[in-house]
């Protein structure tokens, strides 16, 4: 297993889950690029029996085709036909899981759940039914639901009012590295920086593992920041544009509000934010 830097609390929780026979449903939250998928893949991969990642902006049919291809991959059954809905998909998944040894841990990992749960697809409702009707009554199942849209995961998974209400047994919040964890991460790559350069890197990249991965051995902080953040093909040159769209359903509203706040020298009232941003008062503003 690739060495995991930090994440001690999360790893401790996962160990406890693996040590007990009761089935668990885990919600994993955290911003984009912070290492949520890496944490689950590395810590639970020996028990992984099914895993799929949602397709951004994909239709329900595209998500089901993706599901079917992943089920073929994990089950070794090459001639499965694509299910027409999530009820059918989970019936097939259940049949496959039932064929596995009951005493073994079985991890079912759905990554980027907000993308999988397309409008009126019923993904979460059917998954909740599968949990209530089957997983929760059996032993050794670990269902992992992960997504970068933290507000969406909180509302629709962790604080769900439907079939998933109070069904999440554990919540793992994955944050960017602390300053000391950033040093450990860079040291693990053979990169050793002065305290001053480490502070500059941390202020620019915020302890996000994916960004830190692109720092080169021997570079100063100034050179690394210039290359990654400001060069025309730099990794972070256009990250701002992608980040909001990946995190929020109504990304334009969030961007408009943040731009108004950034231009304000002091405090600013709600009414003034609405006026300057053009975001509608009420629901759209409250959601943003």
What pLDDT, in 10s, does the model give residues 87-135? 999 999 999 999 999 999 999 999 999 999 999 999 999 999 999 999 9
Greatest mean pLDDT among 217-221, 238-242, 276-280? 217-221
284 in Cβ contact with 250 (< 8 Å): yes
Distance CA(5)–CA(180), nearest Å, equals 10
pLDDT at 80: 85
pTM score over 0.95: no
Hey, which bits of the chain come out as E strands?
24-29, 48-53, 106-111, 141-147, 170-173
> Residue for token digits 């949990």?
131
Q: Which contacts of 278-283 are long-range, i.e. CB under 8 A and separated by 24 or more positions?
A: 279/253
pLDDT bracket for residue 288 (50, 70, 90) = low
70 Cβ partners below 8 Å, 6+ apart?
50, 51, 52
pLDDT bracket for residue 263 (50, 70, 90) = confident
pLDDT at 2: 74
> What does the block give as tokens for 192?
């050793």
> What does the block give as tokens for 5?
């830097």
pLDDT tens for residues 41-87?
999 999 999 999 999 999 999 999 999 999 999 999 887 899 999 99
């Amino acid at each position: 297993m690739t060495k995991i830097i930090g994440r001690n609390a999360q790893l401790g929780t996962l160990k406890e889950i693996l040590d007990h026979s009761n089935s668990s449903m885990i919600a994993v939250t955290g911003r984009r690029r912070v290492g949520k998928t890496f944490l689950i893949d590395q810590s639970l991969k020996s028990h992984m029996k099914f895993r799929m990642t949602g397709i951004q902006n994909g239709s329900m049919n595209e998500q089901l085709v993706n599901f079917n291809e992943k089920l073929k991959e994990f089950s070794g059954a090459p001639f499965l036909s694509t299910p027409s809905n999530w009820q059918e998909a989970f019936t097939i998944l259940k049949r496959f899981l039932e064929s596995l040894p009951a005493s073994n841990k079985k991890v079912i990992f759905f990554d980027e759940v907000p993308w999988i749960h397309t409008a009126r697809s019923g993904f979460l409702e059917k998954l909740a039914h599968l949990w209530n009707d089957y997983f929760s009554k059996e032993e050794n199942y670990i269902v992992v639901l992960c997504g970068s849209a933290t507000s969406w995961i909180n509302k629709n998974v962790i604080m769900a009012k439907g079939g998933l209400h109070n069904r999440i047994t554990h919540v793992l919040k994955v944050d960017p590295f602390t300053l000391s964890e950033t040093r450990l991460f860079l040291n693990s790559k053979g990169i050793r920086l002065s305290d001053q350069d480490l502070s500059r890197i941390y202020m620019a990249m915020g302890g996000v593992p994916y960004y830190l991965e692109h720092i080169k051995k021997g570079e100063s902080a100034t050179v690394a920041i210039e290359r990654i953040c400001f060069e025309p093909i730099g990794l972070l040159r256009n990250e701002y544009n992608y980040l909001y769209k990946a995190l929020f359903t109504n990304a334009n509203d969030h961007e408009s509000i943040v731009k108004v706040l950034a231009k304000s020298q002091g405090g600013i009232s709600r009414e003034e934010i609405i006026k300057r941003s053009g975001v509608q008062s009420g629901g759209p503003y409250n959601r943003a």
